[in-house]
Amino acid sequence: MHSWLRLLLSVGVFVLGLAAMAGSAAAQGTTPTDDEVNAIAKQLYCPVCENIPLDVCPTQACAQWRDTIRLKLSEGWSEQQIKDYFVEQYGARVLATPPAEGLNWLVYVLPPAAFLAGAFLLFRALRSWRQAAAANPAMPVAPAPSDDPYVRRLEEELRREG
């Protein structure tokens, strides 16, 4: 009984080991789908076709790049490793989102800084307008009695009519 149990356990461990190995081999050998390739490709731009993301670029150069992504994915490379490889090969300009280093940081700092500066200027302008309005009360709404005899006659006529 005891040896039978030991045999059963050994077979079980062996089968589990085989299954794990097969699973791992299958995972590495799987051909990546177009969606998986494009998920990375859309973050890259080929210098030949400026302003066209790699996932939709129709040129042969871009098709070759997508094949490279597919190959790297099938070899088990991560998204970051693939992006690093492309940067090493073709420079940081292939990235859709440039790294925040060198002059690139201006891209990240300037838009929010301009927005904040605009908001500040608008706030100040509104405040100064409000202060100016408070300091100079509005002109009386009721019109001053007219000295024009024609207007006076017209008003009298209207009053009589009314």
Partner 1 sequence: MTNPPTENAAAPKSRPRWGVALVWIGVLGLLALVGAGLIRTQQGPAGVGSKPAPFTLTTFEGVDIGSSDLIGQVVVINFWASWCEPCKQEAAELEQAYQQYKDQGVAFLGVNYVDTEPEARAYLAEFGITYPNGPDLGTRISQAFRIRGVPETYILGPDGVLAQVKIGPYTSLDEITRSIEAARTGQP
Distance from first CA to last CA of the chain, Å, rounded?
121
What mask of x and - would describe binding to partner 1 in positions 119 to 138, judged by CB under 8 A?
A: -------------x--xx--
Q: Hey, how many other C-beta atoms are within 10 angstroms of the C-beta on 39?
A: 15
User: Using CB under 8 A, which of 110, 116, 119, 151 touches partner 1?
Assistant: 110
Q: Dihedrals φ, ψ of 146, to 5°?
A: -80, 145
Distances (CA, A) of 65 to 7, 24, 93: 52, 26, 15
User: Using CB under 8 A, which of 41, 46, 54, 82 touches partner 1?
Assistant: 46
Cα 156 from Cα 162, distance rounded (Å): 10
51 binds partner 1 (CB under 8 A): no
For residue 31, the 8-state DSSP code is P
* Comparison of 21 and 122: residue with beta carbon closer to partner 1: 122
Cα 65 from Cα 75, distance rounded (Å): 15
What mask of x and - would describe binding to partner 1 in positions 5 to 44, judged by CB under 8 A?
A: ----------------------------------------
Interacting positions 55-84 with partner 1 (CB under 8 A): 59-61, 64-65, 67-68
Six token digits for residue 136: 């100079």
* Comparison of 24 and 89: residue with beta carbon closer to partner 1: 89
Contact positions vs partner 1 (CB under 8 A): 46-48, 59-61, 64-65, 67-68, 87-91, 93, 103, 106, 110, 117, 132, 135-136
